[in-house]
A and B are shown apart, each in its own frame.
Chain A
């Protein structure tokens, strides 16, 4: 079966810095695909390229058979890709519900329908009780859940999660892992950037390791975690 997302030979430079060098990988539908690597490896740049905030210098990105590199971010979202941000950006002055309604409006005909769709998503992410609170008043874990909820409301086929676990305590991490696993089981393909190896190992079916913008390993978690290049550049022998 064709992969849902196919990144081929992607490159991007910023002046003299080669942020992404000839990176390519398939993301099968239904997978949870993790991208890991040291800071500065180019992970967020990769996300920005896929999500449309940046244009690649070379290579291509195909999603559900269509070429999407170079499309504007809103066009990419309409094709079925949602994303969250490394530093969460919910709409601060708006309520939790309003945040998600805005996401739901992509597919809803009117605000009423959007509101009920938003309600469902909020229930799934355990935020329904707080739906009238302003987003700025939420705790960090709740704000992360809100961002996921908001992106989810756009009914994506693929969700890009940028370091969703960062800053969460272990119990909160476990809760988020459980939520993501449940979402994945219901058919959502997930591509995530993560540093928290506990979450990566618990979730990922595939891992890509980036370093200095290039792929140094990719494959199943078991393979990758034992790869000597990965161990020396990122994980360290005692990491697990």
Chain B
């Protein structure tokens, strides 16, 4: 099976991947806590970016409301844990199910009624906003005052309940990212992946080849939503507090998409490269500002905006494709 997964990947690519993986696995041994939190952030955005990418990079549907699925995952798993004592790994199932159902509903409404392009993006924004306001008024989940998970002792690692040291969270996030990468690779090489690319390129032409575009767009919406909600579960248990104002905010949705777009939507490694670049550079920016004694909230986001601007005007396909070509790491089939 590994051979099939790596089919078409040049040898240097395999070596590069293996090296990166090895380094990442060993990271907690020599990284301090701060570096670990940065790495966790990178992995989080890499994972969430992959999940979002399924809908946009693969199937061509631009969603600007993905924070909705993160939020759903976060709140469902958190509520089950706090109110019913359900462990997050089990709550995960419920979170995925609910988020996937939500994604499917939005997809159904949009695709059935021909809502596409701009209109689709606006629809997704509206849905996320709807959730934000709705959850603000939902007292069982804390409402606008917030929902809190009991912060446990960081010295003991409780993997089952996701309570523990940063290193534990790091490995969880690393595991998730690797699984996501493998899953996306499998999808990309399957019939579903091919059909998604056809739909992304030219939906009308795809239909004349016998593709039931509605069904495949629904798959993309559902899978993307489900995958994204897992990031939400992680979020809830890592930060231990949830505020609708933050979790569902449109700026969160935008944050999610910056990395994959900068890295290269539609490719597998793009979102990861994007997350590394973005978070790495942003943190360096913060460090630099700290050194100068400046506290500038919003500077990081301005930086994101500028990056997006630069990428979209100069390298619209993302930073990874030309980089991969330069390093001669492209696969035979082009991803």
Binding site for B on A (CB under 8 A): 51, 53, 72-74, 77-78, 82-83, 85, 89-95, 98, 101-103, 105-106, 110-111, 114, 132, 134, 150-151, 154
> Which of B198, B212, B332 is within 8 Å of A91, CB to CB?
B198
B189:A111 contact, CB within 8 angstroms: yes
B209:A151 contact, CB within 8 angstroms: yes
Bound complex: CA of A221 vs CA of B159, how far in Å? 79
B207:A102 contact, CB within 8 angstroms: no
Bound complex: CA of A111 vs CA of B212, how far in Å? 17
Which of A91, A132, A151 has the most CB atoms of chain B within a 10 A radius of its CB? A91
Which of A53, A73, A85 has the most CB atoms of chain B within a 10 A radius of its CB? A73
Bound complex: CA of A154 vs CA of B195, how far in Å? 13
B139 lies within 8 A of chain A by Cβ: no
Bound complex: CA of A150 vs CA of B206, how far in Å? 10
B246 lies within 8 A of chain A by Cβ: no
- Apart from A89-B202, A111-B194, list 18 A-B contacts with CB within 8 A: A51-B208, A72-B207, A73-B208, A74-B207, A74-B211, A77-B208, A77-B209, A78-B210, A82-B208, A89-B205, A90-B205, A91-B198, A93-B197, A94-B198, A98-B333, A101-B194, A103-B209, A111-B190
> Which of A91, A114, A151 is within 8 Å of B201, CB to CB?
A91
Q: What are 10 inter-chain pairs, A to B, with CB distance below 8 A?
A: A73-B204, A74-B209, A91-B198, A98-B194, A98-B197, A105-B191, A106-B211, A150-B209, A151-B208, A154-B210
CB distance from A94 to the nearest CB of B (A): 6
A105:B208 contact, CB within 8 angstroms: no
B157 lies within 8 A of chain A by Cβ: no
Bound complex: CA of A90 vs CA of B201, how far in Å? 9
CB distance from A210 to the nearest CB of B (A): 22
CB distance from A223 to the nearest CB of B (A): 32
B194:A73 contact, CB within 8 angstroms: no
B334:A74 contact, CB within 8 angstroms: no
Closest residue to A95 on the B side, CB-wise?
B334
Residues of B within 8 A of A150 (CB): 209
CB distance from A2 to the nearest CB of B (A): 24
Residues of B within 8 A of A110 (CB): 190-191
Residues of B within 8 A of A83 (CB): 208
CB distance from A204 to the nearest CB of B (A): 23
> Which of A85, A89, A106, A134 is within 8 Å of B210, CB to CB?
A106
Interface of chain B: mostly helix, strand, loop or mixed: helix
Residues of A within 8 A of B212 (CB): 74
CB distance from B208 to the nearest CB of A (A): 5
1/0 per residue B136-149: CB within 8 Å of A?
00000000000000
B201:A93 contact, CB within 8 angstroms: yes
> Which of B191, B201, B210, B211 is within 8 Å of A111, CB to CB?
B191
CB distance from B14 to the nearest CB of A (A): 20
Bound complex: CA of A73 vs CA of B205, how far in Å? 9
State whether A77 and B210 are in contact (beta carbons under 8 Å apart), knowing that A91-B201, A92-B201, A94-B201 are contacts in the complex: yes
B206:A102 contact, CB within 8 angstroms: yes
Bound complex: CA of A57 vs CA of B207, how far in Å? 22
Residues of A within 8 A of B195 (CB): 102, 105
Bound complex: CA of A89 vs CA of B211, how far in Å? 16
Bound complex: CA of A151 vs CA of B333, how far in Å? 21
CB distance from A155 to the nearest CB of B (A): 10
Residues of B within 8 A of A89 (CB): 202, 204-205
1/0 per residue B323-335: CB within 8 Å of A?
0000000001110
Residues of A within 8 A of B241 (CB): none
B240 lies within 8 A of chain A by Cβ: no
CB distance from B316 to the nearest CB of A (A): 12
Report, nearest first, the 6 A-B pairs whose CB atoms are least far apart. Answer: A77-B210, A91-B201, A73-B207, A106-B210, A74-B207, A89-B205
Bound complex: CA of A134 vs CA of B213, how far in Å? 23
State whether A85 and B205 are in contact (beta carbons under 8 Å apart), knowing that A102-B194, A106-B210, A134-B334 are contacts in the complex: yes
